[in-house]
Amino acid sequence: MNTKIKLLLIVALMLIGLGIATIVNISLNFREYSIKSATEKATATASIVKDGLTAHMVNGIMDKRDYFLNQIYTNHSDIKALWIIRSDKVKKQFGEGFKNEVIRDALDTQVLKTGKTVQNIKENADGITLRISIPYNATSTGTPNCLKCHNVQDGDTLGAISMEFDITHMRNDGMLTILKILGINFIFIIIALMLINHYVSPYMKLFSNMQEGIKKAYRGDFTHKFKTTVSGDARTITEQLNTLFTKMQETFGDIKHNLATFIPQGCVSSHDPLYEAKTIINELSDIYKFKKTIELDSSKDIVYNRIIDVLSNKFEFEHFAFYEINTKNNHRELIYISQDNSICSSETEEDAMLCRAYRTKTDIISTEFINLCQECSCEDVEYICIPFDINDDYSLVISITTKNPSDIARINKHIPSIKNYLEAAKPVIESRILTNKLRETSLKDAMTGLYNRRFLEEFIDKFVKQAERRKESYAVLMLDIDFFKKVNDTYGHDVGDAVIAQLGKVIRESVRESDLAIRYGGEEFVVLLQNATREGAMRVAKLINESFAALSFDVGAGESIQKTISIGIAMFPEDAETIWKCIKLADTALYVAKTTGRNKIVEYTKEMSQNDNLR
């Protein structure tokens, strides 16, 4: 049902309701008027009868009253019956009267008893009858004086006149009047509806036209032209809407195209382009805030944590793993995992080429094919793996898992948005990687690949605080190449550099990843062994000493040389409360090794500190 029909129906119902209310009101008032009119006529008739009977009494012809009453009854067609009744006091004084002058019903009894007019309506299918009894009360005032003729007191009821009036014709007149009113109302309703239809239809057409245009605009189509035959404000509004839609059509396409240059197609799936534009703008805003935040982060690890937070909080992924891959050696490092175990086999950590997502550079969705990734060792789990290249040296892989296959569609929908965040983070991650490389270069010795003394000076306090919190200990080894100056003086610095480089290699191969090996300066090296016992420190020292002593160095002309090292050992915090002091004590033990024959390992003892020559 369209709006115009609804409006006409509502107006028609209102007019019909008003007509019904009017008819009901008129019907009630007409009935009341009919009864009131009949009552007034009865009162007038009773007054005439009273005056006539009084005249009969004065003239002594009271016995002729029956003729008078019959004339009144006969000359009024609407009077069906008329009779008079006497009260007991009048009967006692003047007798019973004529035989028809008797009490006929309860109304006669009531009127004689109360002295008040009593009436009753009798209504049936044949007609309506008004039954009324009007009393004659004695009065001593006026003419004649009732008390002169009657043995009664002032106000006593002398009798009453009873009548029955036929008021059926009044009902018929009322029905005819109601029908006329009903006909007039019907004609009025028809005319009103025709006028409303004539004047409202153009506005309804305009309204429908506007609805159609708005529906098109909701779908991003602003080509609709609004039309109307109405003049005045409606035409002005129509022209303004056409102007607005024309401008929207000219500009909205460019806006959507420009937004799409920032967010690739497919990030937002909606048939409503306005909603799509809003979603893209919100996405751009979130990515912009994300990028501005990570640009101020000091390290690559913090940026990674930001990405992990986005995956957890924005996309609400419950189970996922975040990997960094070194493309130079194909080593894959697990940065974060939200559950205990990775779904990938352990071999993938050492050989990233086993990872299908990294190898193919494509998104891997487990629901696309049975057992799609051969390295996935988890059953009853669906997954999506997203690869992303940072630069020639590093790549990322995000592995999202779920036990509910229906979640894959939701995860897949977020892939473009995830890549948008990774694209925003890419230059920042590259910058932090470069910074780390530069930083690492400044903190490492180029010849040996070990940390340099600057690293020790900058980070040793952090290691000490960490060791104190964790109740850790360190064994400090101070190493020095025996008679190294002679190598440089005799064979040149190239041979000397080779000796130093080989010692650095021996040290790297002899210690754990948790240990620190540092080129302290020249031919001196410092090794910090984490949580090492004296026996363990001595074992490592011997390994380094023996491995280095077994090396031969080509010095040219078919000759080769072998070199030895001396090592001093001190324990932190057993021998000293600070690392720097412990290094000093290890240097003291090294000095003892040098002065007592070289090519030996000496552990620090307190007696060494008591020797003034060793301080």
**What letter does residue 444 receive in the DSSP assignment?**
B
Collapse the DSSP code of 163 into the 3-class scheme (helix H, G, I; strand E, B; otherwise coil) and give the result. strand
**What letter does residue 139 receive in the DSSP assignment?**
-
What are the E-state strand segments in 226-358? 320-326, 331-337
Q: Say how far apart CA 75 and CA 444 lie, in whole Å.
A: 143
Residues sharing a CB contact under 8 Å with residue 369, sequence separation 6 or more, in sequence order: none
**What letter does residue 285 receive in the DSSP assignment?**
H
Q: What are phi and psi of 131, to 5 degrees?
A: -100, 120
Helices of type H across 444-533: 453-470, 484-491, 493-510
Please calculate the CA angle 549-553-555 and round it to the nearest 5 degrees. 145
Residues sharing a CB contact under 8 Å with residue 478, sequence separation 6 or more, in sequence order: 520, 524, 525, 526, 567, 568, 569, 570, 583, 586, 587, 589, 590
- Catalytic site residue 350? no
**Cβ atoms within 10 Å, residue 99:** 6
Q: What are phi and psi of 167, to 5 degrees?
A: -110, 25
Classify residue 420 as left (phi > 0), alpha (psi -120 to 50) or beta: alpha
Q: Say how far apart CA 133 and CA 107 lie, in whole Å.
A: 7
From 276, 324, 382, 523, the catalytic residue: 523
Task: Please state the separation of Cα 185 from the chain's center in Å.
Answer: 54
Contact 196, 5 (CB under 8 A): no
Helices of type H across 493-552: 493-510, 534-549
**Cβ atoms within 10 Å, residue 517:** 23
Collapse the DSSP code of 469 into the 3-class scheme (helix H, G, I; strand E, B; otherwise coil) and give the result. helix
Collapse the DSSP code of 217 into the 3-class scheme (helix H, G, I; strand E, B; otherwise coil) and give the result. helix
For the chain, give me the number of helices (H) and strands (E)?
18, 17
Q: Can you give the length of the chain in residues?
A: 615
**Cβ atoms within 10 Å, residue 120:** 14
Task: Map tokens 């694209």 to a residue.
Answer: 423
Q: Say how far apart CA 589 and CA 73 lie, in whole Å.
A: 158
Contact 553, 563 (CB under 8 A): yes
Q: β-strands 565-572, 601-603: how paired?
A: parallel
Q: Say how far apart CA 114 and CA 102 lie, in whole Å.
A: 17
Nearest CA to 163 among 83, 67, 74? Answer: 83
H or E, element range at 118: strand 118-123
Known catalytic residues are: 523
